[in-house]
Structure 1
Amino acid sequence: MRILAFLLALLIALPAAAEPRHGLAMHGALKYPAGFSHFDTVVPNAPKGGELKLADTDPFDSFNPYIAKGQAPDGIGLAYDSLMVPSDDEPFSMYGLVAESVETPPDRSWVIFTLRREARFHDGRGVTPEDVIFSLEILRTKGAPSYRFYYAGVERAEKIGERAVKFTFKPGDNREMPLILGELPILPKHYWQGRAFEETTLEPPLSSGPYRVAKFEPGRFVTYERVKDYWAKDLPVRKGQFNFDRVRYDVYRDSTVALEALKAGEYDIRPENEAKKWASGYQDWAALKDGRARKENFAHQRPAGMQGFAFNLRRPLFADIRVREALGLAFDFEWANRTLFSGQYTRTQSYFDNSELAARGLPDAAELKILEPLRGQVPDAVFTSEFHSPVTDGTGYARANLKRAVALLEAAGWQVVDGKLVDGAGQPFMFEVLLNSPAFERIALPWARNLARLGIAAKVRTVDSTQYVNRVRGHDFDVIVMSWGASLSPGNEQASYWTSQAAEQKGARNVGGIKNPAIDKLVDLVIAAPDRDQLVTRTRALDRVLLWNHYVVPQWHIPYDRVAFWDKFGMPKSVPMKGWQMHTWWMK
């Protein structure tokens, strides 16, 4: 009896066996059951045909989007498939594409993907486990730095059986890794062997996605053609999508020229990211007045992320938190919103604004349990105050805020001498705001004028895209305008955004060079969150610490997508939580 009881207890203690499934949710259950016919966010029988014409303002010089070198064209992702794809109406759930099924134990210490027999590249060769393993290894060793962070948790990858690949993860609590591996783009081993993956190329690489490169002129245009015999076109995860026969991107000098080209009928759809243009740039568009074109706000439920003036903390000038806070006080959002944006924007108050992940009020008991061990390593305000971006009266002078900024600068050892802010050695406070678009000059120049009232010489400089990318990758800047996207289920990408390990990696998203052990710890906790409630709590704690360190001067966001387009498209009736999806549209 004792032996029987022992064996029974042992069986109860063992984790439940992993079973092959059609999809995987980060937390909770999948919305779509096995055997579902299509996503609810598409029209499954949408007609195919026509050419979609779009605009790009960054000249391209390479077709490899997975390396740190060169500039890939917009739309190149249309050529590639991944093991799994997300739905647009769930926070983070993935469903099989190249992978027929996914299998992982309750502790998610490993994952097995079984590949579809029909999955193939554009040259007709089938996708194999060897291709999957090659894709992981080439991205980790020769791809952009972000991939090393993304896939750092993989201990080994091995082929098991004819069509299956098993990834075993390093010890630790990283429940997102099976989904991260699901996002792995599949690259053909037979094509890349003998080629320099890490170098730019204008030979369109072999791939397996719904489109392939048909025609192009470097720096001028690229046309993708729909693969008529695309192997996955009838799968539930692809039905109702990729409906245009051709997708063409023309390169324009800047966004102003591109807007005029839209109104002239040179291309079809323009997502608008400039408030001034949205408010007044379309008034002379005759097609809008007579109904041949439309302007629409498509509401979404995505976290806003963070856009702001980002400080390069590698520069001693920005090492003092008081200095960074003072510089933020000189940015007059209320004036900019009223004068430049026609009141369209909301000031960003969180790295996860517009979502339940954003920190609000004071830390609750669950957050304090996480933050208390970090007391002394994080700003005291994390525990005592709710973060609010500075507010002004909107006149453009920001007198009260500038007065507070003077006090902070003086406390940090700066003083005004002959109208210039200098340190104890008499060295002036001066820096450069580096831009890659003239559109942001009207934002940066008023900030620079307010900084001049403090005795600070801030020079605004706009450079071409190639120089800008190279300087940012090389950490050769003082301040840039930077944005970090946020998902409904933050995870491994946060390591590339904020951790000490990413700070010196060229091409990583930690452009500011943040090296903060407390943030490293909080990022680890976010990645290891065992359920949705814990994920929300840990993300809010991370949000507070990022905000109160004043690493950026927060700018603004809107809870909808602005899109102008010629009225010749059909589209699904509803917009999913992740926003409008252009490739579910079709030509009427």
Structure 2
Amino acid sequence: MEQLRHPAMGKDRRLDRLLEPVRPAGQTAVPPVRRCEWHRLSLDLVDRSGERCGTEPTKRTEVGMITRRQFSIGSMITMAGASLPLPRAFAQTAAGEAGYGAPTYYLPMLDLKAAYPKDFPHWNYVRPDAPKGGKIILGVFGTFDTLNNLTTDGTEAAGLGAINDALISTNLDELDTYYVDTAEALEVSSDKLSIILTMREGPRFHDGHPMTAEDVAFTHQLLREKGALRLRARFYDDMDGIEALDGRRVRFTAKTLKNPQLLKAVASFPILPKHWWESRDFGGLTMEPPLGSGAYKIKSVDPGRAITLERVADYWGKDLPQNIGSANFDEITYQYYRDQDVLYEAFKSGEFDFLAIGRPQQWVTGFKSVSAVQTGALKLEEIPDASPQPYRGLMFNLRRPYFSDVRVRRALNYLYDFETTQKTSYYGLYSRIHSYFPNTDFSFSGLPEGRELEILGQYRGKIPDEIFTTEFKQPTTDGNGNIRANMRAALDLLKQAGWESRNGKLTNAAGEAMAFEIAYFTPEIEKTILPFAENLRRIGIQPSPRLLDVPQFRNRINNFEFDLMPAAFTPFFPPGEALRGGWNSRYADRPGDENSQGIKDPVIDELVEMIIAAQTYDEKAATCKAFDRYATWQFYSIALYEDPVNRVGYWDVFGRPDTRPKNDVGFPSTWWSDEKNPKAARGQRR
């Protein structure tokens, strides 16, 4: 399951949504574009630090549903997408194509309606007259070695989603409703197998070259042939064709109706300039700033250390309703730090301006002695988060013989003492997670009923009976380090699986001792892993916790060379085609694909396809709950924690709208520079 995330700032929301990596346990990170995409092996995963903060070693932003919504705390990525000013918010096309419905301005989430009317003036959560100007600096943990975020290799730089536009994009109020962007209208075929998008007159790349339907077709051919493997698995395998009908119209056609979200996802991919890329190697690592078309372009790059974006003054789409009040900073610099503690101290000393604070200790005790907090120069704020959250867990490699037995996986789950770790390391901030779709309507609860029960009933005899009779509960402890009851339960399960304690070691009938490595890439996660490892030793297992650097960690994942490791699974919302790459049996054996765990389960395969095929919100919710319940009972990973709260720190040099978006903090896309507090100005922060 993919774990990587965009490094820059804030929540994971999440190129998100195609781009979205996951969040670590305590740092600031620019999430991969924040859309809620379904799962990724996010290097971010491991500690919240990188997740909310914008400080993680992110890997790459996935494409797909990369929308302006991502350019926010959860996704500083996509600010892309915009359009030329027209007399009306969305221009009308004169006539529809034969066999297609009337032109429209949005694609809904399943059967739900759009929150914004056709002629809306701007998003509700922006200040339309927000001042432009100012420069901000954001801290990022890790490094980068490429400026191409759409291939498998390399660690991408932060902010790349902001340099490209897309045909359609979403917003920070709605989770999966897309509005026309560089397109001015779209038409859906009567059989729902294809859509035709008519592009606006006026979109252009930063070199002045007009954007055309030919660029769109070229982009998808390029991604189909040389793009990241995950894109092929999730999207292109199900596409029948993408063709330019003329200079402004492009048609997307799916092979079947099994994936109703497919066309929307693919139409939201960034548009690349054919005239620029056709003479360059798309598949390799590059430090040449790519040509884009969005609200920002790359100004300068210090390889591995910093990247600066500058606002495009003559951005062709700046007056479109979806762009009004956003992209307010003249420059955004992402400054990289190789050590998370150094990054944290740099923020407190004023070296950069905003930090999503993921580490519980930092939030609870780390700012008590900072005088700037008392003077009001440094602000701390806790903001509830209603959006879907990433699932954080310790991921089993099911290719390892002992982990192929669900009884072993379940037994090890008893040895994670959440209550004690919550008290000693999490400072009471987190709650135990039990679902792959936390903080959504798609999470299962209680016993199955209604449509969910009907779905699971088809598999009676193939799935455990307890799924129908027993409410799932995570093991609990008294929070004082006493886990004897859990140890007994674990040993009973291990004995059933053929493992017993002999001479202080847990061994099987062949005399082989159970020993495995727990790999991770950030010291912060040690607060979770080391107590767990000690509990393993208490019953005779020999764990070997091992801290790796980011490239080693990524290579291990890509080549399936791990036993147990932390990961975050960040689902798209609503869950759909992105599930296939991380869960389907077809993607369990090819290095670099998202099914890192090696899940090969025909029940999972069928449930994923049912989720993808769901046509209504209610059906999507029921199928997701069935999948969620079954997958949870299979203990494919040891569930850690969730925390639907944004904890942010920022120097008082910002203004922001009175209305906050429903599903995000709105930083940096809707904030602006306001240096009204002289104590917060750079050079005056100590």
Q: CA deviation at 1:17?
A: 4.4
Q: Describe the superposition over 1:128-175 as per-residue Cα deviations: whole angstroms up to 9, x where unpaired.
A: 111111111211221111111232221011121331011111023321
Task: Say yes or no: does 1:128 pair with 2:212.
Answer: yes
1:147 aligns with 2:251: no
Where does 1:326-405 land on structure 2 (aligned, <5 Å)?
326-405=411-490
Q: In the alignment, does 2:396 pair up with 1:294?
A: no
Shift of 1:100: 1.4
Relative distance call for 1:387 and 1:16 in structure 2 (3 A) is: farther
Q: Secondary structure at the match of 1:572?
A: coil
Q: Does 1:22 align with 2:94?
A: no
For residue 207 of structure 1, the aligned residue among 292, 303, 311 is 292
Q: Given that residues 26 and 179 in structure 1 are in contact (C-alpha distance below 8 angstroms), is that contact kept between their aligned partners in structure 2?
A: no
C-alpha contact 1:110 1:166 (8 A) present in aligned 2: yes
Give 1:138's aligned residue. Answer: 222
Report if the CA contact (8 A) 1:434-1:479 is conserved.
yes
Q: CA deviation at 1:278?
A: 1.2
The answer (yes or no) to whether the contact 1:291–1:567 under 8 Å persists in 2 is yes
| Counterpart code for 1:584 | T
Deviates further, 117-126 or 507-516: 507-516
- Residues 381 and 577 of structure 1: is their aligned pair in 2 closer, same or farther, counting only changes over 3 Å? farther
Moved more, 429-438 or 139-148: 139-148
- Tell me the residue number matched to 1:178: 263
Q: Residue 111 in 1 paired to residue 165 in 2?
A: no
Conserved 8 A contact 2:205-2:292: yes
CA distance in structure 1 between the partners assigned to 2:586 and 2:315 by the alignment: 40
Deviation at 1:33, TM superposition (A): 1.4
**Aligned equivalents of 2:180, 2:593: Cα separation in 1:** 28
- Cα deviation for residue 194 of structure 1 reads 2.7
1:375 alignment partner AA: R
Shift of 1:193: 1.0
Match of 1:59 among 143, 146, 162: 143
Partner of 1:241: 326
* 8 A contact 2:214–2:247 mirrored in 1: no
Range moving further from structure 2, 140-149 or 318-327: 140-149
- Residues 1:31 and 2:31 are matched in the alignment: no
- Match in the other structure for 1:565: 650
Residue 200 of structure 1: CA displacement? Answer: 0.4
Q: Larger % of helix: which? A: 1
Q: Using the alignment, how far apart are the partners of 1:207 and 1:498 within structure 2? A: 33
2: CA distance between counterparts of 1:413 and 1:124? 68
Q: Structure 2 vs 1, CA of residues 510 and 575 (structure 1 numbering), >3 Å: closer, same or farther?
A: farther
Contact 1:155/1:168 (8 A) holds in 2: yes
Kindly, what percent of the aligned residue pairs are identical? 39
How much does 1:345 deviate?
0.4
Q: Cα offset for 1:284?
A: 2.1
Amino acid at match of 1:238: N
Gaps of 5+ in 2: 1-97, 675-686
Among 666, 672, 684, the residue aligned to 1:586: 672
C-alpha offsets along residues 239-284 of structure 1, whole Å, 9 cap, x if unaligned?
1111110000111122211110001110000011211211112222
**SS state at 2:458 partner:** helix
> Residue type of the partner of 1:477?
F
Q: CA deviation at 1:218?
A: 0.9
- Equivalent residue, structure 1, for 2:369: 284
SS in 2 for 1:157: strand
Deviations 1:424-475 (A, max 9, x none): 1111111111111011112100000000011111111111111111111111
Aligned residue identity for 2:642: H
AA at the equivalent of 1:307: R
Tell me which amino acid in the other structure corresponds to 1:550: F
Shift of 1:377: 2.7
Instruction: Work out whether residues 308 and 554 of structure 1, in 8 Å CA contact, stay in contact via their aligned partners in 2.
Output: yes
Q: Name the counterpart of 1:484.
A: 569
Any conservation in 2 of the 1:382–1:544 contact (CA below 8 Å)?
A: yes
Give 2:186's match in structure 1, choosing from 102, 119, 136.
102
- Contact kept? 2:261, 2:612, Cα under 8 Å: yes
Q: Contact 1:107–1:175 at 8 Å: present in 2 too?
A: no
Quote the offset at 1:107 in angstroms.
4.3
Structure with greater Cα Rg:
1
Which of 46, 49, 73 is residue 130 of structure 2 equivalent to? 46
Number of the residue aligned with 1:5: none
Contact 2:517–2:543, Cα closer than 8 Å, also in 1: yes
Aligned to 2:596: 511
Cα deviation, 1:300-326, whole Å, max 9, x if unaligned, reads 211223100000111112000000001
Q: What is the CA–CA distance in structure 2 between the aligned matches of 1:210 and 1:507, rounded to whole Å? A: 32
AA in 2 matched with 1:297:
E
Q: Is the 8 A contact 2:392 2:567 kept in 1?
A: yes
- The one-letter code matched in structure 1 to 2:102 is E
TM-score (norm 1): 0.95
Q: Do the aligned partners of 1:80 and 1:209 also contact (CA within 8 Å) in 2? A: yes
Q: Please, which of 258, 271, 274 is the counterpart of residue 343 of structure 2?
A: 258
Q: Which stretch shows the higher mean deviation, 135-144 or 496-505?
A: 496-505
**Contact 1:379–1:549 (Cα < 8 Å) also in 2:** no
Conservation of the 8 A alpha-carbon contact between 1:279 and 1:341: no
User: How big is each residue's C-alpha offset from its partner over 1:468-493, in whole Å with a ceiling of 9 and x where there is no partner?
Assistant: 11111111111111001134411111
2:400 maps to 1:311: no
Q: Which moved more, 1:380-389 or 1:352-361?
A: 380-389
User: Given the alignment of the two structures, is residue 433 of structure 1 paired with residue 518 of structure 2, yes or no?
Assistant: yes
Deviation of 1:504 after TM superposition, in Å, equals: 2.5
The alpha-carbon distance between structure 1 residues 301 and 547, as it changes in their structure 2 partners (threshold 3 A), is same
- Partner Cα separation in structure 1 for residue 469 and residue 155 of structure 2: 45
Residue 327 of structure 1 aligns to a residue whose secondary structure is: helix
> Offset at 1:544?
0.4
Deviation at residue 106 of structure 1 after TM alignment: 5.2
Question: Do the aligned residues in 2 keep the contact of 1:302 with 1:488 (CA within 8 Å)?
Answer: no
Q: CA RMSD in A?
A: 1.5
> In the alignment, which residue of structure 1 is the partner of 2:547?
462
**Matched residues in 2 for 1:360 and 1:222: separation?**
44
3-state SS of the aligned residue for 2:143? coil
Deviations 1:553-583 (A, max 9, x none): 0011112111111111111223323221211
What is the TM-score normalised by the length of structure 2?
0.82
- Separation in 1 of the partners of 2:458 and 2:633? 17
1:4 corresponds to: none
CA contact (8 A) 2:355 2:650 kept: yes
Which amino acid in 1 is paired with 2:364?
A: A
Structure 1 stretches lacking a partner, 5+ long: 1-14
Match of 2:169 in 1: 85
Partner secondary structure for residue 354 of structure 1: coil
Residues 479/506 of structure 1: CA separation in 2 closer, same or farther (3 Å cut): same
Shift of 1:16: 8.4
Q: What secondary structure is seen at the aligned counterpart in 2 of 1:55?
A: strand
CA separation of 1:164/1:16 partners in 2, compared to 1, >3 Å: closer, same or farther?
closer
Question: Letter of the aligned partner of 2:264 in structure 1?
Answer: L
Q: Deviations over 1:376-414 (max 9, x none)?
A: 332322222222221111112311111100000010001
- Contact 2:124 / 2:659 at 8 angstroms: preserved in 1? no
Q: Partner amino acid for 2:277? A: W
> 1:50 offset after TM fit, Å?
0.7
Q: For 2:492 and 2:626, locate their aligned partners in 1 and report how far apart those are by CA, in whole Å.
A: 29
The answer for the alignment partner of 1:10 in structure 2 is none
Distance in 1 (CA, whole Å) between partners of 2:657 and 2:375 is 24
Q: 1:432 to 1:502 in 2, by over 3 A?
A: same
